[in-house]
Amino acid sequence: MKKQVNIRDLTFEEIETFIAHLGKEKYRARQIMKWVYQFDVKSFAEMTTLSGDLRLHLSEVACLTSPEIVKIEASEDGTKKVLLRLHDGLHIESVLIPGKNHWTACLSTQAGCAMGCRFCFTGSLGLKRNLLPSEIAGQLTTLKYQTPEGHNVKNIVLMGMGEPLANYDNTLKAVRIMTSDAGLGLSHRKVTISTCGLAPKIVQLGKDICVNLAISLNAPDNKRRNDLMPVNKRYPLEDLMKACRDYPMPGRRRLTFEYILMAGVNDSPQDAEKVALLLKNLHCKLNLILFNEFPGSEFKTPTPEAVASFQQVLLNHNYTTIIRASRGSDILAACGQLSGQSC
């Protein structure tokens, strides 16, 4: 029996092609996509603007599967960690982060991660597999329609489990689904992709789509970055900085560099001076993140004094530098703490 196509894995253009191969008018693709993403239907039978014959045909050759919520944990600061089950029984996690008048959804792009960053709990678990577009964008639709906060999600950050650019094609398709006016209708300005530094993919991303880019930096030199982030041995800081300088950021938008501060490792004023020099003439801002400790972690959170001193050096060099509050650390929902463990 031929495997059914999951309509949620297809972009608008791919649905058009799929429908055309069924001998139907391309404009049906927009109707189908709206039913899926704007009305969250669970079956083709509910798509009442389509003919009965087409609905029956679609149910024979296609499906509409998406991640299912298993559990939601609430942090003292209001953050919600959502455990989701995939069709093959694997589990991933998404995070809902409260803002002043909206919520931000942090989505995963892989089950686990192969990057092996020493400070990341997710990376310590290894990679199980890449997520499909239906599982990446599907996290958002599940949150949107099955949680009280979902209707007020305004920003998307692909900073959950996995390295988005290591699952490039599926991540790109998911972003196109989420930003399609027939899909979830998000503005490209509200989507941020985070990477540990896959330099060639950064260059490719800039050619393929316009979204915000966040780079996980975490060290001011190759020696320490090699030690903390194995990816740096393949794409050292020289290659990463060139890719960042070539990345197109229109208008007043800026690159974001994420810097996880670890006590006695990368948090000295001298380190901050090196970071300022490394990023010289780049149109960027910095988010300083205090290391979030997890079971078995070898690193420690820096002192408030060390964090303030590090920030001040960067401010003195006229970099916009924000100390980013760690949300949900009490439920292991903060940066680098996601595991996708079901118990």
Q: One digit per residue, pLDDT tens: the chain, 343 residues?
A: 568 999 999 999 999 999 999 999 999 999 999 999 999 999 999 999 999 999 999 999 999 999 999 999 999 989 999 999 999 999 999 999 998 899 999 999 999 999 999 998 887 789 999 999 999 999 999 999 999 999 999 999 999 999 999 999 999 999 999 999 999 999 999 999 999 999 999 999 999 999 999 999 999 999 999 999 999 999 999 999 999 999 988 778 899 999 999 999 999 999 999 999 999 999 999 999 999 877 778 899 999 999 999 999 999 999 999 998 766 566 565 565 565 664 4
Residue-level pLDDT at 330: 63
Distance CA 38, CA 319 (A): 40
Residue-level pLDDT at 246: 93
Q: What percent helix, strand, coil does the chain show, rounded to 5?
A: 40, 20, 40
Residues 133 and 9 sit within 8 Å (Cβ to Cβ): yes
Active site residue 258: no
- Walk me through the domains of the chain, giving residue ranges and CATH numbers: 5-63 (1.10.150.530), 68-331 (3.20.20.70)
Which pairs count as long-range contacts for 329-334, CB under 8 Å and 24+ apart, including other chains? 329/75, 329/292, 329/293, 330/75, 330/76, 330/77, 331/73, 331/74, 331/75, 331/79, 331/81, 332/81, 332/121, 332/294, 333/73, 333/75, 333/79, 333/80, 333/81, 333/93, 333/95, 334/292
Distance CA 109, CA 282 (A): 28
* 3 state SS of 323: strand
Distance CA 171, CA 193 (A): 9
Residue-level pLDDT at 185: 95
Residue 205 main-chain phi, psi, to 5 deg: -60, -40
What DSSP string describes 78-102? S-EEEEEE-TTS-EEEEEEEE-SSS
Distance CA 31, CA 16 (A): 10
Active site residue 93: yes
| Cβ neighbours around 112 below 10 Å, total | 22
Residue 337 main-chain phi, psi, to 5 deg: -105, -10
Catalytic residue among 63, 106, 113, 335: 335
Residue-level pLDDT at 324: 87
Distance CA 153, CA 144 (A): 7
Catalytic residue among 16, 63, 93, 196: 93
| Cβ neighbours around 134 below 10 Å, total | 26
Distance CA 46, CA 27 (A): 18
Q: Which two tokens stand for residue 80?
A: 């919600």
Q: Which two tokens stand for residue 163?
A: 């390295």
Q: Which two tokens stand for residue 8?
A: 């949620």
Q: How far is CA 14 from CA 176, 179, 217, 289, in A?
A: 11, 15, 36, 39
Residue-level pLDDT at 216: 97
Taking every pair of Cα atoms in the chain, the longest distance, rounded to a whole number of angstroms, is 69
153-158 vs 127-130, strand pairing mode: unpaired
